[in-house]
């Protein structure tokens, strides 16, 4: 979000009551299935602000953290421009990344979007490789990513991610899928936070 401006959030839930809260920026509001709530936040300084679900919402409630990154308007506008440019997804030229793209199209696109193509039911992965964590708390390493895709409930009970055992995605296909996901970045350098 840009600094020095009120940013309005439209919030809703699809499963249970959650509570959207960024303590350093104030304000907390519940998200209730079937009800749309709004909240505005204002960040005066650039930085990374940690957010939390403040409502006991299920077995992985303790893992429902997120971060809000506030940027100066010029940096924010550049980030938006980069994300929009990434929306024109081209098929990868590298053969391993190309195979990973195909694995993604066959298995992941029904829940995840990349560059505006795909479903919005799961997190958008356009800038996946810019992220420090997977599922909000796992280190974004190839090993953690592989384990998360294979068996997400082992790490975060009650999540909506479908497991992909080796019988569905072979180890070679998984290597290619990870190579493809590593190609999804917007910034030249990943966020140090």
Q: How far is residue 109's CA from residue 118's CA, in Å, rounded to a whole number? A: 5
Q: How far is residue 192's CA from residue 175's CA, in Å, rounded to a whole number? A: 25
pLDDT of residue 124: 82
Residue with tokens 């920026």: 25
Please give the sequence-ordered ranges of beta strands (E in DSSP) within 73-152, or none if there are none.
113-114, 117-118, 133-134, 138-139
Q: Is residue 163 part of a domain?
A: yes
Mark whether 63 and 111 lie in a shared domain: no
pLDDT digits (tens, 9 = 90+) for 91-135: 667 788 889 999 998 998 888 888 766 666 778 888 888 888 888
Sign of the alpha-carbon dihedral angle for 109, 155, 86, 113: positive
pLDDT of residue 118: 62
pLDDT of residue 138: 86
Mark whether 97 and 43 lie in a shared domain: no
Mark whether 174 and 135 lie in a shared domain: yes
pLDDT digits (tens, 9 = 90+) for 40-88: 999 999 999 988 888 777 677 667 788 899 999 999 998 888 777 665 5
Mark whether 62 and 101 lie in a shared domain: no
Mark whether 115 and 176 lie in a shared domain: yes
CATH number of the domain to which 21 belongs: 2.60.40.420
Instruction: Look up the domain containing 34 and give its range.
Output: 6-71
Model confidence, pTM: 0.65
Q: Is residue 193 part of a domain?
A: no
Nearest CA-CA partner of 48 in 66, 61, 21, 27: 66
Nearest CA-CA partner of 64 in 162, 159, 186, 164: 159
Q: Which of 71, 100, 121 is the last residue of a domain?
A: 71
Q: Is residue 82 part of a domain?
A: no
pLDDT digits (tens, 9 = 90+) for 146-168: 999 999 988 888 788 889 988 89
The number of distinct structural domains making up the chain is: 2
CB 21 within 8 A of CB 53: yes
């Amino acid at each position: 979000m840009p600094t020095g401006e009120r940013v309005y959030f439209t919030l809703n839930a699809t499963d249970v009551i959650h509570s959207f809260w960024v303590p350093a920026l104030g304000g907390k509001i519940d998200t209730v299935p079937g009800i749309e709530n709004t909240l505005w936040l204002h960040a005066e300084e650039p930085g990374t602000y940690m957010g939390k679900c403040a409502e006991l919402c299920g077995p992985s409630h303790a893992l429902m953290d997120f971060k809000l990154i506030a940027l100066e308007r010029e940096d924010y506008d550049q980030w938006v421009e980069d994300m929009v440019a990434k929306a024109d997804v081209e098929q990868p030229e590298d053969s391993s990344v190309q195979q990973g793209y195909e694995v993604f199209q066959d298995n992941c696109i029904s829940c995840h979007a990349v560059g505006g193509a795909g479903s919005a039911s799961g997190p958008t992965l356009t800038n996946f490789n810019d992220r420090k964590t997977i599922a909000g708390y796992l280190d974004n390493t190839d090993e953690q990513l592989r384990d998360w895709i294979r068996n997400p409930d082992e790490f975060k009970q009650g999540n909506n991610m479908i497991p992909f055992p080796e019988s569905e995605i072979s180890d070679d296909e998984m290597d290619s899928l990870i190579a493809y996901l590593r190609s999804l970045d917007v910034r030249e350098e990943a966020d140090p936070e």
